[in-house]
């Protein structure tokens, strides 16, 4: 998971008045699929396999689409909206991402608007009123906004036919960008009349897919997983000894690279330092991180996406919505926080399908920094007590989010974070428009359950960091390791990574003792699923302990690990 999105980048829920207007006749007329595709993609365009499969499934059931970056996921719900002729609500996590999605939808001829903190209160109210009155095809909201009673009242009165959850991996603690507010979406969808749900993400392991479906309350979902491979991107890792060595190597990689590129660093200070060195070396770079003003971040992103600048040094905040076709390379100055996050970031290169390059430059001490950055305490006991006290008993009238905030005496954001934790440990549940306590456990028992949950999450985080070390240290095929983490089996060396270039990658044959996806049982770690198989070791994702790398022969021959 990447660090929580800074508050300055999260859309704030507007304070809207009641605009629950009955759907008007001005809602867009229904299109047939062919005319909708022509409008969105162009008269001579054809749907890709992922798009065609998703559109076919949405008509009948809730759908989870896992498709690589650049696969055209936005076009799926644009076409579906035109075909249905009803309002689509898109849950999208960042202001910048919403802005880009609105632009793309409007270019395709749809009436779209976001409701975000970038707008004035009057503009926010007008956008929601237009959505309810049938004057918009698509409205984009942050998950936090759908916890506001007045926003939900508006959408209850609108003719919502589809709810799209973009960046759906944010729902899962096992994903790489967990956002607690996503956990509260299921009751919001119910309030809108339980329309069809389409969840979208670029990467999701089998465990993450399962959690997305469960937490969204998707009804018998159709899970579509399209090949995540990006064979045009060469993958590599470059070890160094000290921080200065690492940074010199990063600068060397940048100076030797042609075309547009992105350098990722883990901290704001490191971003600034690398940009200064590149400036001195004659390769000036734009800087992007959450410490900059929203206006400056928007300027940097627009300059890069528009081709006015070809080099950005950034933290992971430069992520969702970065969609430039001709990015030729991505360099990581230090290991990323997780491999699925890494694959998202390197996937910003080569979207034009032309050759691209991605390399991570690392040193041993970088992993200690990642462990530190991935840590963090959950809600304070006093905060949890206040929310528990404000929740009614299971057989009482549920309390909605505003009333819960008022009764707890906390801010909306603080109360919301505590509520999501209580939902995770089954100490609370959503019921209609509100929330109740789920059982008669005492407060101290609930606090112990929260502490145990936090420790399990911390253990997962530690294991995720170590899995990145497995990737950077391996002499086997790097692409296979990445893709097997995502639940795909790629037994053959890719021929497009540094291990394959050196001839150290190995073939995983059919008679291998274990294969990705197999269920196993370990005497100490319990049940798990094999995610990565290398020549002499394997990585298993255990339900309670996260990712663990084991010596294959030793684990199996000793009987400590058994294939289920």
Q: Strand 356-362: give its sheet, edge to edge.
A: 233-239, 356-362, 327-333, 260-265, 311-314, 286-288
* CA 546, 320, 243, 272 torsion-angle sign: negative
Cα(499)–Cα(472) distance, integer angstroms: 11
Q: Considering the chain, what percentage of its residues have pLDDT values greater than 90?
A: 38
pLDDT at position 174 is 59
pLDDT at position 269 is 95
Residue 7 has pLDDT above 50, yes or no: no
Strand partners, 548: 540
Torsion of CA 548, 553, 559, 561, to 10 degrees: 20
Q: Is the Cβ–Cβ distance between 11 and 94 less than 8 Å?
A: yes
Q: Same structural domain for residues 317 and 255?
A: yes
pLDDT at position 151 is 84
Query: pLDDT digits over 488-520, tens only?
Result: 777 789 999 999 999 999 887 777 888 887 889
Query: pLDDT digits over 428-470, tens only?
Result: 988 766 889 987 788 999 999 988 888 887 777 788 788 888 8
Q: Same structural domain for residues 215 and 254?
A: no
Q: Could you say which of 201, 225, 249 is where a domain stops?
A: 225
Query: pLDDT digits over 63-92, tens only?
Result: 999 887 767 888 899 999 999 999 999 998
In a domain, 262, yes or no: yes
* CA 402, 404, 407, 413 torsion-angle sign: negative
Query: pLDDT digits over 241-259, tens only?
Result: 999 999 999 999 999 999 9
In a domain, 412, yes or no: yes
Cα(301)–Cα(315) distance, integer angstroms: 13
In a domain, 216, yes or no: yes
Residue 13 has pLDDT above 60, yes or no: no
Q: What is the mean pLDDT of residues 90-112?
A: 85
pLDDT at position 112 is 93
Crossing angle of helices 401-408 and 412-424, in 10° steps, is 110
> What is the H or E stretch that residue 563 is in?
strand 561-563
Alpha carbons within 13 angstroms on the beta-carbon side of residue 88 total 32
Residue 231 has pLDDT above 60, yes or no: yes
Q: Quick check: helix, strand or coil at residue 229?
A: coil
pLDDT at position 432 is 67
Query: pLDDT digits over 257-294, tens only?
Result: 999 999 999 899 999 999 999 999 999 999 999 899 98
In a domain, 371, yes or no: no
Q: Is the Cβ–Cβ distance between 203 and 129 less than 8 Å?
A: no
Residue 149 has pLDDT above 80, yes or no: no
Q: What is the mean pLDDT of residues 340-359?
A: 91
pLDDT at position 5 is 33
In a domain, 73, yes or no: yes
Greater confidence (71 vs 318) lies with 318
Q: Is the Cβ–Cβ distance between 490 and 480 less than 8 Å?
A: yes
Q: What is the mean pLDDT of residues 187-202?
A: 90
Cα(16)–Cα(129) distance, integer angstroms: 9
Q: Are strands 546-551 and 537-542 parallel, antiparallel or unpaired?
A: antiparallel
What is the CATH number for 423? 1.10.10.10
Q: Could you say which of 190, 225, 260 is where a domain stops?
A: 225
Q: Could you say which of 225, 259, 280 is where a domain stops?
A: 225
Torsion of CA 348, 539, 469, 461, to 10 degrees: 80
What is the CATH number for 346? 3.40.50.300
Backbone angles phi, psi at 263, to 5 degrees: -110, 125
Q: Quick check: helix, strand or coil at residue 172?
A: coil
Q: How confident is the model at residue 164 (pLDDT cuts 50, 70, 90)?
A: very high
Q: Same structural domain for residues 359 and 419?
A: no
Among residues 18, 299, 341, the alpha carbon closest in space to that of 152 is found at 18
In a domain, 346, yes or no: yes
Q: Same structural domain for residues 85 and 171?
A: yes
Q: List CB contacts of 160: < 8 A, sequence separation 6 or more.
A: 86, 87, 88, 89, 192, 193, 195
| 237 Ramachandran zone, left/alpha/beta (phi>0; psi -120 to 50) | beta
Residue 2 has pLDDT above 70, yes or no: no
Q: What b/e sequence results for 472-491 when a residue is b if at least 16 CB atoms lie within 10 Å of its CB, and e otherwise?
A: bebebbbbbbbbbbbbbebb
Q: Same structural domain for residues 443 and 556?
A: no
DSSP 492-517: S--SSBHHHHHT------TT-S--TT
- Domain range holding 435? 381-451
Q: How confident is the model at residue 120 (pLDDT cuts 50, 70, 90)?
A: confident
Cα(556)–Cα(554) distance, integer angstroms: 6
Q: What is the mean pLDDT of residues 288-316?
A: 92
In a domain, 106, yes or no: yes
Q: Considering the chain, what percentage of its residues have pLDDT values greater than 70?
A: 91
Biggest distance spanned by C-alpha atoms of the chain? 70
In a domain, 478, yes or no: no
Q: Same structural domain for residues 281 and 168?
A: no
pLDDT at position 355 is 96
Q: Same structural domain for residues 48 and 19?
A: yes
> What is the H or E stretch that residue 188 is in?
helix 185-191
Low-confidence winner among 15-29, 197-211, 316-330, 344-358 (lowest mean pLDDT): 15-29
Q: Are strands 537-542 and 526-533 parallel, antiparallel or unpaired?
A: antiparallel
Among residues 517, 490, 419, the alpha carbon closest in space to that of 209 is found at 517
What's the total number of domains in the chain? 4
Q: Same structural domain for residues 413 and 547?
A: no
Q: Are strands 428-431 and 434-437 parallel, antiparallel or unpaired?
A: antiparallel
Q: Same structural domain for residues 172 and 279?
A: no
Q: Same structural domain for residues 160 and 243?
A: no
Q: Same structural domain for residues 58 and 98?
A: yes
Q: How confident is the model at residue 365 (pLDDT cuts 50, 70, 90)?
A: confident
Q: What is the mean pLDDT of residues 305-334?
A: 90
What is the CATH number for 513? 2.40.10
- For the chain, first and last CA: distance in Å? 29
Q: Same structural domain for residues 130 and 264?
A: no
Backbone angles phi, psi at 143, to 5 degrees: -60, -30
Q: What is the mean pLDDT of residues 368-383?
A: 67
Cα(73)–Cα(276) distance, integer angstroms: 37
pLDDT at position 547 is 83
Strand partners, 10: 94
Taking the whole predicted model, whether its pTM rises above 0.95 is answered as no
Greater confidence (349 vs 124) lies with 349
Query: pLDDT digits over 388-403, tens only?
Result: 999 999 888 888 888 8
Q: Are strands 87-91 and 286-288 parallel, antiparallel or unpaired?
A: unpaired
């Amino acid at each position: 998971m990447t660090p929580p999105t800074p508050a300055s980048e999260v859309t704030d829920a507007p304070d809207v008045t009641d605009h629950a207007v009955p759907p008007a006749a001005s809602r867009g007329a229904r299109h047939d699929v062919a005319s909708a595709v022509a409008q969105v993609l162009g008269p001579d365009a054809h749907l890709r396999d992922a798009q065609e499969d998703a559109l076919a499934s949405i008509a009948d059931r809730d759908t989870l689409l896992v498709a690589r970056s650049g696969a055209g996921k936005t076009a799926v719900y644009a076409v579906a909206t035109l075909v249905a002729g009803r309002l689509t609500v898109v849950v999208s996590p960042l202001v910048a991402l919403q802005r880009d999605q609105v632009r793309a939808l409007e270019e395709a001829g749809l009436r779209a608007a976001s409701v975000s903190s970038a707008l004035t209160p009057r503009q926010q109210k007008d956008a929601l009123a237009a959505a309810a009155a049938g004057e918009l095809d698509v409205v984009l909201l942050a998950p936090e906004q759908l916890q506001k009673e007045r926003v939900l009242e508006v959408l209850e009165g609108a003719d919502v036919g589809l709810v799209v959850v973009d960046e759906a991996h944010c729902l899962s603690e096992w994903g790489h960008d967990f956002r607690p507010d996503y956990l509260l979406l299921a009751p919001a969808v119910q309030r809108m009349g339980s329309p069809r749900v389409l969840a979208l993400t670029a990467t999701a392991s089998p465990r993450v897919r399962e959690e997305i479906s469960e937490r969204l309350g998707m009804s018998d979902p159709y899970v579509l997983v399209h090949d995540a491979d990006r064979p045009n991107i060469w993958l590599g890792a470059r070890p160094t000894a000290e921080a200065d060595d690492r940074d010199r190597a990063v600068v060397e990689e940048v100076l030797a690279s042609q075309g547009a590129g992105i350098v990722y660093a883990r901290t704001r200070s490191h971003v600034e330092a690398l940009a200064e060195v590149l400036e001195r070396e004659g390769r000036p770079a734009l800087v992007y991180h959450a410490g900059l003003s929203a206006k400056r971040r928007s300027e940097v992103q627009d300059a890069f996406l528009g081709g006015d600048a070809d080099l950005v040094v950034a933290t992971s905040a430069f992520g969702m919505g970065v969609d430039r076709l001709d990015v030729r390379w991505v360099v990581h100055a230090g290991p990323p926080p997780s491999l699925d996050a890494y694959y998202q970031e390197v996937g910003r290169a080569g979207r034009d399908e032309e050759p691209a390059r991605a390399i991570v430059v690392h040193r041993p001490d970088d992993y200690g920094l990642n462990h530190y950055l991935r840590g963090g305490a959950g809600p304070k006991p006093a905060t949890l007590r206040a929310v528990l006290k404000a929740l009614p008993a299971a057989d009482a009238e549920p309390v909605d989010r505003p009333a819960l905030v008022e009764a707890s005496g906390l801010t909306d954001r603080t109360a919301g974070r505590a509520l999501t934790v209580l939902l995770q440990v089954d100490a609370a549940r959503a019921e209609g428009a509100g929330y109740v306590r789920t059982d008669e456990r005492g407060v101290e028992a609930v606090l112990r359950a929260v502490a145990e949950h936090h420790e399990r999450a911390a253990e997962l985080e530690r294991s995720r960091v170590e899995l990145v070390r497995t990737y950077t240290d391996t002499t086997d095929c790097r692409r296979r390791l990445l893709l097997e983490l995502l639940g795909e089996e790629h037994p053959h060396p890719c021929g497009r990574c540094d291990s394959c270039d050196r001839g150290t990658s190995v073939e995983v044959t059919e008679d291998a003792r274990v294969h990705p996806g197999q269920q196993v049982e370990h005497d100490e770690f319990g049940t798990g699923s094999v995610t990565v198989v290398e020549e002499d070791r394997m990585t298993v994702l255990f339900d309670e302990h996260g990712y663990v790398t084991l010596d294959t022969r030793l684990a199996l021959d000793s009987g400590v690990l058994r294939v289920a």
